Chain A
Amino acid sequence: GQNIDQPTEMTATEGAIVQINCTYQTSGFNGLFWYQQHAGEAPTFLSYNVLDGLEEKGRFSSFLSRSKGYSYLLLKELQMKDSASYLCALPSGNTPLVFGKGTRLSVIA
């Protein structure tokens, strides 16, 4: 089975740092993805974690703890264009990707 939990909404200030959490339950783990989705647009790939630890990619970093069933996406130096939904997703059984409901981030001045 698959259960993915993310906060529904978050608000942060331009220039700040925000952490978006994702907790999951899965019978078999094969990696975790983060996608960004602007309103009315398609999801775009941000990161993939399969081993524990932090993966850094510019202003965005993603962390994974397999033993805790936990991941987070860290966004630094927030910009207005970072206002979007952030989706946590995992493969599950025969389903290539199961998505969480997403976290809608609003960046304010």
Chain B
Amino acid sequence: DTGVSQDPRHKITKRGQNVTFRCDPISEHNRLYWYRQTLGQGPEFLTYFQNEAQLEKSRLLSDRFSAERPKGSFSTLEIQRTEQGDSAMYLCASSLGVGTETQYFGPGTRLLVL
């Protein structure tokens, strides 16, 4: 399978714990995006990378959230001191990295904070 992959697919954690999610983009894609989606809403942009550089962060991204893409390949999204409001689907997408272009999404990580 050469699509975008995410791990884990599901995560249940207790409030206050830290969680980390991983995303592996399509191999030739230079751009990688993180989104959050709650029930009945469209995906909300969180941040994105061009290779290893983080180019944009949403104002929605509080200081408890951090994302990295150290070698320009896979990326991690960490949430520190989780809150119940962090419960959502976290989606990763990737694209080639030229202009306005199609993003291809991974299956997502569903987070439940108890």
Contacts and interface: CB of A to CB of B under 8 A. Distances in A.
Interface residues of B, number: 21
A97 interface: yes
Given A31-B100, A96-B33, A96-B56, A42 B106 contact: yes
Interface string A10-45: 000000000000000000001101000000011111
Chain B CB within 10 Å, residue with most, of A33, A95, A97, A100: A97
Contacts, number: 49
Contacts of A91: 100
B42 A44 contact: no
A78 to B, nearest CB: 22
Chain B CB within 10 Å, residue with most, of A42, A44, A101: A42
A97 B37 CA distance: 13
Interface string A46-89: 00101000000000000000000000000000000000000101
28 contacts: A30-B100, A33-B102, A41-B107, A41-B108, A42-B106, A42-B107, A42-B108, A43-B91, A44-B105, A45-B102, A45-B104, A87-B43, A89-B42, A91-B100, A94-B56, A95-B45, A95-B56, A95-B58, A96-B31, A96-B33, A96-B48, A96-B56, A97-B33, A99-B44, A101-B40, A101-B41, A101-B42, A102-B42
Interface of B: 31, 33, 40-45, 48, 55-56, 58, 91, 100, 102-108
